[in-house]
Structure 1
Amino acid sequence: MSFDVGLRLKYTLTVFGLVALACALSLRLIYLYLDNQTKFPINTIKIIATYKHITRAKLEDILSHYQNKSFYTLGVNKLYQEIMQLPWVEEVDISRIRPDTVKISIKEKKAFALWNDSIVATNKTLINDKGSLPYLQHLPKLISKAYNYSEMLKMYAKLQQALTKYGFKIATLEERPNKAWEITLTNGILLRAGKHDTVLRVTRFCKAYPFITESHGKISSVDLRYPKGMAVQ
């Protein structure tokens, strides 16, 4: 009896093994068939991008590794990872469009400030792109000898929020070696705001600005480091 059970078990395992092997071979044959780039070539790669900072040459260099791939077996995940490695890329979407087109949509990061010799972009990421620096000199400049990047961004956001209410914009925000803050506005006025109550002092300047220009005319700098006043030049 036990002999019959063992024989049936051995037979079942043998059949199961043969079925599994047949399935594996079938899948392999299907893959080899779909992997034939002659039968299923990629004839069109459609790229949707702004090309402000990402050059077409960089993309073509990456895509050159996939030019002989089959439409069905193209390594989409690997291609996605390679494109995402480009410093200016924020998002990538890759899709196949039958019968022979691959569509790649790329969203670039936006630069909104310069931090020393680097570029501050979307999601507060730092990009080291010397080639783009000459074209981004119109952006606000954040200057500090200390590596307090996150703190500087917080201070910039607070100050710009306060200044925007009165129509001012920051051209340069600098943290001096003694930790005092200096702000140069886009109209050329330098504000020496000191180490403490920086936002409060800058707000006080904004409120007093109409009266300052009325009594002093054109001004070049304002020292806000006084408890109840300011020095105008």
Structure 2
Amino acid sequence: MSDMITTKQRLLNPKFWLGVSFFVVVSLLAIWAVQQLNLWLKDEQRLPVQEIVIAGERQFINDQQVEAVIRQAQPGSFFELDVNKALEAVEAMPWVHKASVRKEWPSTLKVFLVEQVPVAHWNSDSLLNQQGSLFNGQLSADAKALPQLFGPGGSEQTALQGYRAMQQLLANSNLQIEELELSERFAWQIKLNNGIRLNIGREEFIDRVQRFVDVYPLLAKNSKTVDYVDLRYDTGLAVGWKQQSES
């Protein structure tokens, strides 16, 4: 009975309702403050990404394009920007091999880039990087000349590995591979920088290229100009000569 009287007295006490009112007002103010803070943090004009700092060795990547890609993919304030989505947008650029993106208080975005390193053209419309992976970059006319590799889809790494192995042998004779073709049956043909074409075939291509390297000094001394060398033999080779034009 006494407890009921105490509760009734508390409810009739003005100080009790004053305290309740104060608690409600404070709670509402706190909710309003949080909402205003969220709106303020999302306001691009108040906390924009003022600076995008790009680092990493790069020859083909345009910094202005990187910044434009980030701002287009992730418009908004510094706090609203999604680092993972910005990273996806940057790594989708043709010349970007890998990247990292991080925020730096209060308004800076730092981007570190690892650029694609082209080592060969592939089927005339793509490029191969050092790992033998395709990417669709564009080279300027004055860029370093790269070998032309051709082959069926999915054979990029096989072709690149074969190119490197054969080029290592040919370099001893100061010869460079300009074109390499890997057929559907995985037979090798190459064209050298002196115009000689080598028909190597499918089997023991390293041994066959070494055979050409061994005999090349004799061919170079000949007055005739070599057109092609057919190495598809177990122990020998066949030489085709260019026709000499009459003076």
Asked if these proteins are the same fold (TM beyond 0.5), I'd say: yes
- 2:76 is matched with 68
Determine if the alignment matches structure 1 residue 170 to structure 2 residue 163.
no
Opposite residue 200 of structure 1, the aligned amino acid is D
Determine if the alignment matches structure 1 residue 85 to structure 2 residue 85.
no
Once the two structures are superposed, what CA deviation does each residue of 1:122-150 show, in whole Å capped at 9, x if it has no partner? 43221245x54877793111223565333
Once the two structures are superposed, what CA deviation does each residue of 1:154-198 show, in whole Å capped at 9, x if it has no partner? 322322232234432211111345643211112222111122221
Question: Deviation of residue 74 (structure 1)?
Answer: 2.7
Determine if the alignment matches structure 1 residue 219 to structure 2 residue 211.
no
Compute the RMSD of aligned alpha carbons. 3.4
Cα contact 1:90–1:109 (8 A) shared by 2: yes
Structure 2 runs not aligned, ≥5 long? 1-26, 242-247
- 1:124 is matched with 132
- 1:210 is matched with 217
Structure 2 CA distance for aligned equivalents of residues 160 and 227 of structure 1: 21
Structure 2 CA distance for aligned equivalents of residues 231 and 120 of structure 1: 33
Q: Secondary structure at the match of 2:131?
A: helix
Question: Deviation of residue 112 (structure 1)?
Answer: 1.0
Cα contact 1:54–1:88 (8 A) shared by 2: no
Structure 1 runs not aligned, ≥5 long? 1-20
Question: Deviation of residue 202 (structure 1)?
Answer: 0.5
- The counterpart of 1:106, out of the listed 113, 136, 142, is 113
CA gap of 1:141–1:158, structure 2 versus 1, over 3 A, is same
Question: Larger radius of gyration, structure 1 or 2?
Answer: 2
- 1:15 is matched with none
Question: Deviation of residue 84 (structure 1)?
Answer: 1.4
CA gap of 1:122–1:30, structure 2 versus 1, over 3 A, is farther
- 1:9 is matched with none
Determine if the alignment matches structure 1 residue 228 to structure 2 residue 229.
no
CA gap of 1:68–1:201, structure 2 versus 1, over 3 A, is same
Q: Secondary structure at the match of 1:52?
A: coil
Corresponding residue pairs, total: 210
Identity %: 28
CA gap of 1:123–1:181, structure 2 versus 1, over 3 A, is closer
Question: Deviation of residue 227 (structure 1)?
Answer: 2.9
Determine if the alignment matches structure 1 residue 151 to structure 2 residue 153.
no
CA gap of 1:93–1:133, structure 2 versus 1, over 3 A, is same
Structure 2 CA distance for aligned equivalents of residues 161 and 87 of structure 1: 29
Opposite residue 195 of structure 1, the aligned amino acid is R
Determine if the alignment matches structure 1 residue 138 to structure 2 residue 145.
yes
